[in-house]
Structure 1
Amino acid sequence: MQLLNLDSKVINFMSIRRYSGILSILLVIAALGSFATKGLNWGLDFTGGSLIEVSFEKSADLRKIRSVMDEIGFGDATVQNFGSSKEVLIRLAPQKKSVDEANGEKITSAMIGDVIMEALQEMDSTATKRRIEFVGPSVGDELRDQGGLAMLTALICILIYVALRFEWRFALGSVSALAHDVLITLGLFSVLGIEFDLTVLAAILAVIGYSLNDTIVVSDRIRENFRKLREGSPEEIINISLTQTLNRTMITSITTALVLIALLVVGGELIKGFATALLFGVVIGTYSSIYVASSIALSLGISKEDLMPTVIEKEGEDQDQLMP
């Protein structure tokens, strides 16, 4: 099978790399702008506090629930629907004051759920506690710092690996693509206000792994074609390599996306953030492998000479050639 066939159809991916570059820059700027203005909707895992999920037989009156929370001393509580109009999620910041200061009674974290449920059941006897979680503020800060450190460490390790495995131009392209994917995915969560918790952080790290795997496959094919094809400019060889890996990339992305769509639709609210982050990450990761990693390597002047294997001369080889 010939790698370069005049009759074969090659998609000219690199012909629009400037437009894709502009699109990527605009998306990254939009993500950074959202971070600066809205920030991320940090979940309980990072902020600390209490989370209570309550179900009702009929649609819950959020305004009435907020009024009840204010009456028992939790006026700063966040009350919102969770999955359906009958499910309510109540989030509380870490409590420093007692609930009933008049009686001098201090309420511990373990007692908060009982206090709130008692008040809600007085309002509506059908109120049922589904789950309750408590996270201390110091634990939340530690998780946030360690999560950011985990992503930074992953990017540095990937930079070193790709630089040693391929070439420094590919390394810069790969890390730029990964940073591009992470920033835009986080920007989506910031714009939509989706809660960012530990499951979403796990999805972000999975996106890094998925995008890297796709980029490594593309980079390996580009290096192989640079060594095998004697004719063609770097741009043409990259287009050939991307076309050859397109079927594999699309099949992998589509099958992964089908599973994630199923999780998003029927997986419930607890896994919604994870599925959303990973589904969007698969799409943006496939895009970045083509139009970020490869485009940056091409813009940095990658050539055949950079990817040819180094020939090591054996000691005494020249003398052997001179002997009759």
Structure 2
Amino acid sequence: MSYKWLLIIPIAVLILSSAVLIYLYQERGEWFLKSIELRGGTVITLEKPQSITLQEIQSALPEASIREIKSLTASLVQIQVPPEEDRDAVLSKLAEMGFRTEKARIEFIGPALGEAFWQQTQYAILIALIFMAIIIFAIFRKPLPSFYVMLCAGSDILVTLAVMQLLSIELSLPALAALLMLLGYSIDTDIMLTTRVLKGEEDLGQRIKSAIKTGLTMSGTSLGALLAIWLLSISPILSQIALVLLIGLSVDICFTWCQNAVLLRWWVEK
């Protein structure tokens, strides 16, 4: 009976995450901070001179979102401005500050295209969840264990999104790709756990301990590789994917072993 108290942890995390998202929605009028790809606008990427700070850039361009991108060879700055802002005026201000704007990389996404991207990504996640649910039920043929697997995956996504908003990480196409990867990883570890518990021949406690050992080894190696990618900052896209997955896989450890494992053991012992 003593193991059931572990459910308090994921329940508390889910409540806090839901409260964060609701509060931020009331404050901003939208559930998530969306990147230029999903709301439209102009992205200017160029090399940052050593003498210029991010605070100076932000003061000169108060309407812009500024982000520094560090690599092994150079320090870049990414400037995102809303679609209604004059791109040439922004480039003129940057040139006055000492930037070499002739080497700038400029990308523009219209608001309608950004909205279309956002709609398509929502459909992609929904379809992925539906197909995953069908496959999981086909594998186990038991409603509650199958539901526990999907509950864990949904919890991972919800909490990861809440942490992203707390850290001001925008929801972008790379972040959405990372969330889809997280869905796959979460389902993978939960299928491994459920298979061990339902189809193993050892004592129930031994089955769960064996699954924990395998699952934590998988998570540890993945987290180590992702941490290396994020620290090296090889590419802005890879760094963003790695950061979202670092958050998501850390969350998945909590929900797989404090939620799914507990619910499965409770169900088997009934």
TM-score class, shorter-chain normalisation, is 0.7 to 0.9
Q: Is 2:239 the partner of 1:247?
A: no
Q: Secondary structure at the match of 2:50?
A: coil
1:281 alignment counterpart: 248
Q: Is 2:79 the partner of 1:90?
A: yes
Q: 1:124 to 1:266 in 2, by over 3 A?
A: same
What letter is aligned with 2:261?
S
Q: Secondary structure at the match of 1:132?
A: strand
Q: Secondary structure at the match of 2:83?
A: coil
Q: Which runs of 4+ in 1 moved over 6 A?
A: none
Q: 1:90 to 1:295 in 2, by over 3 A?
A: same
2:112 corresponds, among 110, 125, 138, to 138
The offset of 1:68, in angstroms, is 4.5
CA deviation profile, 1:112-165 (whole Å, cap 9, x unmatched): 2x4432332123255664422211111211222222222222222222222221
1:51 alignment counterpart: 43
Q: Is 2:19 the partner of 1:17?
A: no
Q: Is 2:131 the partner of 1:154?
A: no
**Higher Rg of the two aligned structures:** 1
Q: Is 2:20 the partner of 1:31?
A: no
Q: Which structure: greater helix fraction? A: 2
Measured in 1, the distance between the counterparts of 2:103 and 2:32 equals 28
CA deviation profile, 1:69-103 (whole Å, cap 9, x unmatched): 4xxxxx6x2242413696433211122x8x5xxxx
Q: 1:201 to 1:81 in 2, by over 3 A?
A: closer
What letter is aligned with 1:173?
Y
What letter is aligned with 1:213?
D
Instruction: Using the aligned pairs only, state the percent identity.
Output: 24
Measured in 1, the distance between the counterparts of 2:162 and 2:126 equals 17
- Residue segments in structure 1 that go unaligned for 5+ positions in a row: 1-13, 70-74, 100-111, 230-235, 305-324
Measured in 2, the distance between the counterparts of 1:279 and 1:29 equals 21
Q: Is 2:224 the partner of 1:258?
A: yes
2:66 alignment counterpart: 80
- Residue segments in structure 2 that go unaligned for 5+ positions in a row: 25-30
Q: Which has the higher mean CA deviation after the structures are superposed, 31-40 or 135-144?
A: 31-40
- Taking only aligned residues, the RMSD between alpha carbons, in angstroms, comes to 2.6
1:60 alignment counterpart: 52
Equivalenced residue count is 259
2:138 alignment counterpart: 164
Q: 1:45 to 1:126 in 2, by over 3 A?
A: closer
Q: 1:241 to 1:59 in 2, by over 3 A?
A: farther
Q: Is 2:259 the partner of 1:292?
A: yes
CA deviation profile, 1:162-207 (whole Å, cap 9, x unmatched): 2221111111100100011101111110111112211111111111
Q: Secondary structure at the match of 2:107?
A: strand
Measured in 2, the distance between the counterparts of 1:277 and 1:61 equals 26
Q: 1:192 to 1:66 in 2, by over 3 A?
A: closer
TM-score, normalising length: structure 1: 0.71
CA deviation profile, 1:214-248 (whole Å, cap 9, x unmatched): 111111111223xx46xxxxxx61x3211122332
Q: Is 2:159 the partner of 1:184?
A: yes
CA deviation profile, 1:229-269 (whole Å, cap 9, x unmatched): 6xxxxxx61x3211122332222222211110110100244
Q: 1:175 to 1:67 in 2, by over 3 A?
A: closer
Measured in 2, the distance between the counterparts of 1:217 and 1:62 equals 46
Contact 1:52 1:132 in 2 (8 A): yes
